[in-house]
């Protein structure tokens, strides 16, 4: 329904509603390449209320799964906005507290999208983001039993499950049509050893009848490099670590400063749980994806410790050489996450290893400042002769560690689940991710969807995206991701090929033309459908077990020695530190960890 019709209904009803010109959220990227094939573009631009009447009913995610979502959302006579229908008890306000393991900022109280959602449901979500150390925060919760209503703790959620903090959900999820459509086919993968399901996974495209996996536009992790560096080098193929650092060194020599800021060649974030930039690169050089603390041979499923391999020795020695040359600075190991992001936003950092979501805020700010040449692209670096394996194609199996749990302290879990179910209607998902048709997004010439320039500017501004769209609510709640199988349309902006291409600056278009490609992902080998066990980091280890203790020690020892290796004063000191590292690493009960991981891999492969 267009905004003018909404206003007419509201005036006729003498209701006071709060709307903003820009609703929806800037969705986190999960890529897609589908176009509308059920309507011509002209039909797609007709009034949505008329279209709904012509199609005789709501087009919710639950409907697509064969569920009667209208029975869950209230009277269809109160169809206020583009198919959004209030819950029956929307006039009975309730507040749920929601703890998130990530540092962050709570959306503004006057966020128009969240206000609208609260108005239609009666539900207010009060977010609390992490301040300080996560383990300490969870420890205090567990010791006092002082839990919020909902918790997203990532892989640290196992501590809460072991403490009995979460309610079982395996008998609850099937009661809610949209949640059941989302999770019903994968409940066995979410089931813990005690036979219960405690989490609703919030990231990924799972095995279901509503959505399917979207092809990628960009690589989501790996060795990133500033586009200006590649441009100046003549758009070279960058395949090895030596290739990568050679062009960084050359650019640094030509540009000791960028916009008055000293040029930094390569950053390594090693702050708390964000330690993958220091620990993970070797497995990617060996052709693996983002797996975990062991390398898994994909043909035999045999595991080994890449941390102490000759490949690791060579890689960290290369980083040591770059430190000696001034490409890497010692302060990189003492900076926190905020300092890291701040440094990237200067445009003076040439490269780093990371996951794209982790530095997206810096990337957005560079774009907002018009510094497109200072934004980053990943390159397919491996050891010589090794095929890159950076791109994943989801196998549809949830990791089991990226879910939200409802705690035993939640007084009305049924209403919270009904709220989550309501959010998973397609109309609500479109509102959260795209906003209002004509104001926030339009149909492209090919029948796909793309944002308006005004909305795109909001999405690129971190504060405005948080305070003027539904990003925070969408990001931490159950959601549809990928492309809708019913019509091939993208769930979100990050899955729309039309939006991806429309959002490219003139510089980006020139950059891609320099490589002769349409999307940066074309630099990489085809996406890999991972084995059912994948990834290792998502496997659950019983707190305090020999395997869990060993896992912690693996991280602690590598975090202790890898910076020392990189900062060694010469080759002799490097070799001495490496030998000390091997000795200490091998004192860990590696067998207990490896045996448990091997067992769990076998179990997941058998499901």
Where in the chain are the domains?
Answer: 3-32+39-213+398-499, 221-390+505-606
Measured CA distances, 389 to 275, 289, 598 (Å): 20, 6, 21
Position 607 scores a pLDDT of: 79
Position 371 scores a pLDDT of: 97
Distance in Å from the first CA to the final CA of the chain: 45
What's 392-449 look like in SS3?
EECCCCCCCCCEEEEECCCCCHHHHHHHHHHHCCHHHHHHHHCCCECCCEEECCCCCE
Q: In whole angstroms, give the CA distance from residue 331 to residue 205.
A: 39
Residue 255: helix, strand or coil by DSSP? coil
| Pairing status of strand 392-393 against strand 376-379 | unpaired
Position 11 scores a pLDDT of: 35
390 closest CA partner among 402, 377, 400: 377
Q: Give phi and psi for 258, each to the nearest 5.
A: -130, 120
Q: Report DSSP state, residue 386.
A: P
Q: From the CB of residue 475, how many other CB atoms can be counted at a distance below 10 Å?
A: 20
Position 34 scores a pLDDT of: 31
Q: In whole angstroms, give the CA distance from residue 597 to residue 554.
A: 14
C-alpha 177 chain-centroid distance: 25
Q: Are 256 and 263 in contact (CB under 8 A)?
A: yes
Residue 165: helix, strand or coil by DSSP? coil
CATH class, range 3-32+39-213+398-499: alpha beta
Q: Which helix (H) or strand (E) holds 268?
A: none
Residue 274: helix, strand or coil by DSSP? strand
CATH class, range 221-390+505-606: alpha beta
DSSP of 211-222: EEPPPPSS-SEE
Q: In whole angstroms, give the CA distance from residue 380 to residue 382.
A: 7
Q: Which helix (H) or strand (E) holds 31?
A: none
Q: Report DSSP state, residue 326.
A: T
Q: In whole angstroms, give the CA distance from residue 185 to residue 452.
A: 36
472 closest CA partner among 63, 149, 104: 104
Q: In whole angstroms, give the CA distance from residue 121 to residue 604.
A: 38
List 201's β-bridge partners, or say none: 403
Position 81 scores a pLDDT of: 56
Position 542 scores a pLDDT of: 87
Q: Are 3 and 436 in contact (CB under 8 A)?
A: yes
Measured CA distances, 507 to 260, 373, 512 (Å): 22, 7, 9
List 124's β-bridge partners, or say none: 95
Position 4 scores a pLDDT of: 35
Residue 401: helix, strand or coil by DSSP? coil
Residue 59: helix, strand or coil by DSSP? coil
Position 457 scores a pLDDT of: 93
354 closest CA partner among 267, 295, 282: 267
In this structure, the chain runs to a length of 607
Q: In whole angstroms, give the CA distance from residue 455 to residue 46.
A: 21
Blockwise average pLDDT, block size 10, the chain, 607 residues:
36 34 34 32 32 34 36 42 84 98 95 97 98 94 98 93 97 98 96 95 96 95 98 98 98 98 98 94 96 94 97 98 98 96 98 96 93 98 97 91 96 98 97 95 95 94 94 96 97 96 96 98 96 92 93 97 98 98 98 97 91
Indicate the Cα dihedral angle 569, 574, 580, 584, nearest 10°.
Answer: 100
Q: From the CB of residue 240, how many other CB atoms can be counted at a distance below 10 Å?
A: 19
185 sits in the region (left: phi over 0; alpha: psi -120 to 50; else beta) called alpha
């Amino acid at each position: 329904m267009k905004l003018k019709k909404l206003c007419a209904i509201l005036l006729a009803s003498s209701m006071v509603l709060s709307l903003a010109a820009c609703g929806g959220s800037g969705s986190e990227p999960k890529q897609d390449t589908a176009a509308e094939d059920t309507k011509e573009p002209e039909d797609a631009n007709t009034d949505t209320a008329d279209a709904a009447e012509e199609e005789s009913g709501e087009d919710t995610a639950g409907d697509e799964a064969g569920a009667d979502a209208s029975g869950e959302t209230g009277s269809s006579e109160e169809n206020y906005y583009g198919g959004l229908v209030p819950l029956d008890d929307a006039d009975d306000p309730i507040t749920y507290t929601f703890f998130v393991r990530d540092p962050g900022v709570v959306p503004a109280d006057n966020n128009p999208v969240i206000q609208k959602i609260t108005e239609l449901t009666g539900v207010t979500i009060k977010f609390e983001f992490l301040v300080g150390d996560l383990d300490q925060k969870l420890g205090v919760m567990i010791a006092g039993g002082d839990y919020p209503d909902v918790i997203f703790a990532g892989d640290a959620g196992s501590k809460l499950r072991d403490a009995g903090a979460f309610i079982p959900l395996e008998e609850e999820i099937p009661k809610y049509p949209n949640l059941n459509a989302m999770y019903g086919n994968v409940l066995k993968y979410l089931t813990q050893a005690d036979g219960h399901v405690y989490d609703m996974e919030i990231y990924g495209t799972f095995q279901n009848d509503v959505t399917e996996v979207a092809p990628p536009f960009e690589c989501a992790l790996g060795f990133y490099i500033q586009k200006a560096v590649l441009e100046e080098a003549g758009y070279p193929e960058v395949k090895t670590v030596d290739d990568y650092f050679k062009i960084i060194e050359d650019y640094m020599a030509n540009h000791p400063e960028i916009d008055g800021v000293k040029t930094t060649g390569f950053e390594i974030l090693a702050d708390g749980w964000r330690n993958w930039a220091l620990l993970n690169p070797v497995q990617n050089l060996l052709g693996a994806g983002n797996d975990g603390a062991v390398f898994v041979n994909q043909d035999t499923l045999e595991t080994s410790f890449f941390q102490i391999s000759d490949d690791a020795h060579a890689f960290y020695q290369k980083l040591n050489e770059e430190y000696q040359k001034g490409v890497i600075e010692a302060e990189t190991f003492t900076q926190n996450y905020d300092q890291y992001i701040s440094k990237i936003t200067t445009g003076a950092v040439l490269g780093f290893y990371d996951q794209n979501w982790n530095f997206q805020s810096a990337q957005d700010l560079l774009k907002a400042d018009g510094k497109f040449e200072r934004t980053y692209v990943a390159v397919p670096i491996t050891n010589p002769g090794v095929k890159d394996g950076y791109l994943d194609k989801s196998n549809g199996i949830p990791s089991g560690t990226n879910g939200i749990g409802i705690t035993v302290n939640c007084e009305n879990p049924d209403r919270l689940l009904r709220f989550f179910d309501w959010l998973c209607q397609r109309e609500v998902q479109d509102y959260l991710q795209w906003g209002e048709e004509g104001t926030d997004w339009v149909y492209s010439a090919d029948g796909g969807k793309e944002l308006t320039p005004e909305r795109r500017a909001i999405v690129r501004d971190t504060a405005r995206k948080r305070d003027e769209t539904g990003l925070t609510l969408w990001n931490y709640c159950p959601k549809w991701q990928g492309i809708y199988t019913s019509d091939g349309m993208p769930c979100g902006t990050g899955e729309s090929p039309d939006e991806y291409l429309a959002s490219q600056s003139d510089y980006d278009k020139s950059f891609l033309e320099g490589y002769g490609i349409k999307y940066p992902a074309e630099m990489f080998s085809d996406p890999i459908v991972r084995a059912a066990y994948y990834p290792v980091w998502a496997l659950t280890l019983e707190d305090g077990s020999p395997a869990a203790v060993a896992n912690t020690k693996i991280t602690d020892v590598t975090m202790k020695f890898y910076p020392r290796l990189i900062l060694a004063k010469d080759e002799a000191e490097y070799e001495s530190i490496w030998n000390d590292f091997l000795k200490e690493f091998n004192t860990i009960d590696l067998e207990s960890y490896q045996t448990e991981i091997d067992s769990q891999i076998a179990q997941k492969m058998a499901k």
